[in-house]
């Protein structure tokens, strides 16, 4: 594939991503993507044969980016609390940004493609997140910054309430305080000497 082809594919994915964020997965048609990207029917089909394929390529791109971002965040030898604050701040922002969230699209997509697919990439991603968090929490405990908590419970509470809020923020106006409260509560469980009760 030459450079021009690559550019076209990038353009297609960018347009498609906006559409998926706006309408979810099932409500986006190849026709929509044609119109948004300015390509003709045939032109689009030269690159991708279905919305499914485009979405999967988007997923893959995002995982790569996310992995890279996470790697940067977990900078060893920084205080665990500082790393935690950084990550929770990212979470907080995402929880409030309903518009650009692909969560509905994700849910629709995996709700269709889990059964037929051999691998469940959503579960993979969940397990990856759990693992990353386990490492971070253990790191915090080792440095005696974090309490010896029920790690699994805290992580599930965090990850699922994060997902819950992201979804709801697409559906109703979510008060700005809600993410702060939730993440603050999590942090309170986790951080040992945060006696002043600072919220994130």
Binding site for a copy of itself (CB under 8 A): 24, 26-27, 104, 107-108, 110-111, 114, 120, 122-123, 126, 150, 152-154, 156-157, 159-165, 167-168, 170-173, 177-178, 181-182, 184-186, 189
Whole-number Å distance between alpha carbons of 23 and 48: 20
Confirm or reject binding of residue 143 to DNA (CB under 7 A): no
**Residue 43 binding partner per list a copy of itself, DNA, none, with a CB distance cut-off of 5 to 8 Å that depends on partner kind:** DNA
Pick from 167, 111, 158: nearest CA to 136 = 158
Q: What are phi and psi of 10, to 5 degrees?
A: -65, -45
User: CB of residue 160 vs a copy of itself: minimum separation in angstroms?
Assistant: 3
Asked if residue 55 lies in contact with residue 122, where contact means CB atoms within 8 angstroms, the answer is no
CB of 76 to a copy of itself, least distance (A): 28
In whole angstroms, the minimum distance from the beta carbon of 119 to DNA comes to: 22
Residue 26 phi, psi dihedral angles, 5° rounding: -65, -25
What single DSSP character describes residue 191?
Answer: B
Residue choice 10, 14, 18, 31 for contact with DNA (CB under 7 A): 31
Among residues 10, 14, 46, 123, the one that binds DNA under rule CB under 7 A = 46
**Nearest 5°: phi and psi at 191?**
-85, 130
């Amino acid at each position: 594939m030459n450079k021009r082809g690559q550019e076209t594919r990038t353009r297609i994915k960018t347009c498609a991503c906006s559409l998926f964020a706006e309408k979810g997965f099932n409500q986006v048609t190849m026709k929509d993507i044609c119109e948004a990207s300015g390509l003709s029917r045939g032109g689009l089909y030269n690159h991708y044969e279905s919305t499914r394929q485009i979405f999967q390529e988007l997923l893959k791109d995002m995982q790569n980016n996310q992995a890279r971002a996470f790697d940067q965040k977990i900078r060893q030898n920084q205080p665990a609390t500082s790393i935690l604050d950084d990550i929770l701040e990212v979470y907080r922002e995402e929880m409030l940004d309903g518009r650009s969230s692909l969560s509905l699209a994700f849910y629709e997509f995996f709700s269709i493609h889990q059964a037929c697919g051999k691998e469940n990439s959503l579960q993979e991603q969940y397990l990856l997140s759990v693992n990353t968090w386990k490492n971070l929490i253990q790191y915090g405990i080792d440095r005696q910054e974090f309490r010896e908590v029920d790690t699994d419970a805290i992580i599930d509470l965090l990850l699922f309430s994060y997902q819950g809020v992201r979804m709801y923020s697409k559906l109703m106006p979510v008060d700005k305080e809600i993410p702060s409260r939730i993440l603050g509560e999590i942090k309170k469980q986790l951080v040992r000497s945060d006696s002043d009760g600072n919220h994130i």
